[in-house]
């Protein structure tokens, strides 16, 4: 028997919930799809917002065979065999790679010539912006599209549709909890509803609370989201609150955030909010990023903790951030000075 998430998975672009900025008739992304001119694409957004569903719909819409991989388990030989199998095919496949930010440099190098030769349409997906995790060659051949968390209005509409179709009764406060605690994740909402409805009907609030997974409670429960928690950690460190910085770091770790993402965010903070008030902060952040990429969890939590404590305890200065902003602003406003003669390359 199909799960509710699979049973009610959209089959066309018009059935997709949310994402009007991509899928409205006048949206550039929609126009590219309708013109069958979609380039290699990187989709990023929070869990349950429809990245995999969109990729499947694109394959159907464009008449391409669909092949799905996860970057963490993808073998290079699998890729090469797939492209060999389609070498003489008239219709090239759509190759969907989930967690695309986890592709190794070797995997990316293997993928590159097939992208250049248009041997397949490559669509990658990630819960974080994969831009900095991919090589410049891959980035230059791909377009980046962000999917948003599903808003509560759309979540409620989907819930009401499923409740009516499945003849499931639910207490009003339980329905509210189901929507709010899923944080824009349709898959999580329907999965929790399915489990609760198998236990009792009408579905009660207490049952939903008892079934909510610990990782979701710790990470993205209620109105919190991936972005809110990250912002809370950054702002706590910016405010020199060590304990709060560590608390939000722990929430993010328990919620399943990749250590590489956390280290990148902290490296940006080191340059933007500490800068030359303590130049060693950026060095430690760079070292931490390298370390966590190699060791992963659970050990990665320790250098991340060290970095958060160090950054929160450091003096703060955003002078470098403000200075480059002002310089770029002047250039955009037309302040284009000629290079002085005495510092040109031919000057002595």
Cis before residue 202, ω within 30 degrees of 0?
yes
Is 77 a domain residue?
yes
| pLDDT, position 94 | 98
For 134-164, the pLDDT digits (tens) are 999 999 999 999 999 898 899 999 999 999 9
Output the pTM of the full model.
Answer: 0.65
Shared-domain flag, residues 42 and 62: yes
Residue that terminates a domain, selected from 146, 172, 195: 146
Domain shared by 241 and 188, yes or no: no
- Answer whether residue 12 is part of any domain: no
Same domain, 189 and 256: no
- Asked if residue 133 and residue 159 are part of one domain, the reply reads no
pLDDT at 336: 86
DSSP class of 18: S
Number of structural domains found in the chain: 3
Give the per-residue pLDDT at 346.
65
Q: Which of 229, 50, 31 is nearest to 148 (CA)?
A: 50
Nearest to 69 by CA among 98, 105, 104, 43: 98
Domain of 291: which CATH number? Answer: 1.20.272.10
Rounded Cα–Cα distance for residues 252 and 227 (Å): 10
Q: What is the mean pLDDT of each run of 10 residues along the chain (348 residues)?
A: 90 93 96 97 91 97 97 93 94 96 92 95 90 88 93 93 96 92 87 95 93 55 62 95 96 84 95 96 97 90 98 96 92 87 73
User: Which of 282, 250, 247 lies closest to 266, judged by CA?
Assistant: 282
Q: pLDDT tens-digit profile of 81-118?
A: 999 999 999 999 999 999 999 899 999 999 999 999 99
Give pLDDT, residue 222: 40
Same domain, 33 and 118: yes
pLDDT at 348: 58
* CATH number, domain containing residue 82: 3.40.50.300
Res 220: pLDDT:
45
Is residue 125 one of the residues assigned to a domain?
A: yes
User: What CATH number has the domain bearing residue 171?
Assistant: 1.10.8.60
131 in the same domain as 71: yes
Token pair for 104: 């190794």
Q: Is residue 329 part of a domain?
A: no
- Claim to verify: residue 120 and residue 34 sit in the same structural domain: yes
Q: Please, is 66 exposed, middle or buried when counting C-beta atoms within 10 Å of its C-beta (0-12, 13-18, 19+)?
A: middle
Residue 57 inside a domain? The answer is yes
268 within domain boundaries = yes
Helix, coil or strand: residue 50: coil
- Sign of the C-alpha dihedral computed for residues 17, 21, 27 and 30 taken in this order: negative
- Domain end position, chosen among 89, 117, 146: 146
Can you give the residue range of the structural domain that contains 300? 226-319
My answer on whether 139 and 171 are in the same domain is: no
- What's the pLDDT score for residue 225? 62
Say whether both 44 and 121 belong to one domain.
Answer: yes
């Amino acid at each position: 028997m199909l799960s509710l998430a699979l049973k009610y998975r959209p089959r066309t672009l018009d059935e997709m919930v949310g994402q009007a900025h991509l899928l409205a008739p006048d949206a550039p992304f929609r126009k590219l799809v309708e013109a069958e001119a979609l380039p290699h694409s990187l989709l990023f957004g929070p869990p349950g917002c429809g990245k995999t569903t969109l990729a499947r719909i694109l394959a159907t819409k464009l008449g391409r065979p669909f092949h799905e991989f996860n970057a963490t388990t993808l073998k290079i030989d699998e890729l090469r065999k797939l492209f060999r199998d389609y070498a003489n095919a008239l219709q090239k496949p759509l190759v969907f790679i989930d967690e695309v930010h986890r592709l190794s440099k070797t995997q990316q190098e293997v993928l590159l010539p097939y992208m250049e030769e248009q041997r397949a349409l490559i669509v990658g997906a990630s819960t974080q912006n994969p831009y900095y995790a991919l090589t410049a060659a891959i980035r230059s051949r791909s377009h980046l599209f962000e999917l948003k968390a599903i808003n509560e209005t759309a979540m409620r509409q989907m819930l009401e549709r499923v409740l009516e179709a499945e003849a499931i009764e639910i207490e009003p406060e339980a329905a509210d909890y189901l929507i709010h605690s899923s944080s824009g994740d349709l898959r999580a909402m329907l999965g929790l509803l399915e489990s609760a409805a198998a236990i009792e009907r009408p579905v009660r609030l207490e049952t939903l609370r008892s079934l909510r997974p610990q990782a979701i409670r710790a990470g993205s429960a209620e109105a919190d989201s991936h972005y809110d928690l990250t912002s809370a950690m950054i702002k706590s460190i910016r405010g020199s609150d060590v304990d709060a910085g560590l608390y939000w770091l722990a929430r993010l770790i328990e919620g399943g955030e990749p250590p590489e993402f956390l280290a990148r965010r902290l490296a940006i903070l080191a340059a933007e909010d500490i800068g030359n008030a303590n130049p060693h902060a950026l060095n430690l952040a760079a070292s931490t990023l390298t370390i966590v990429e190699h060791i992963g969890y659970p050990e990665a939590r320790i250098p991340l903790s060290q970095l958060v404590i160090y950054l929160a305890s450091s003096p703060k200065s955003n002078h470098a951030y403000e200075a480059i902003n002002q310089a770029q602003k002047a250039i955009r406003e037309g302040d284009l000075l000629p290079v002085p003669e005495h510092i040109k390359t031919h000057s002595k």
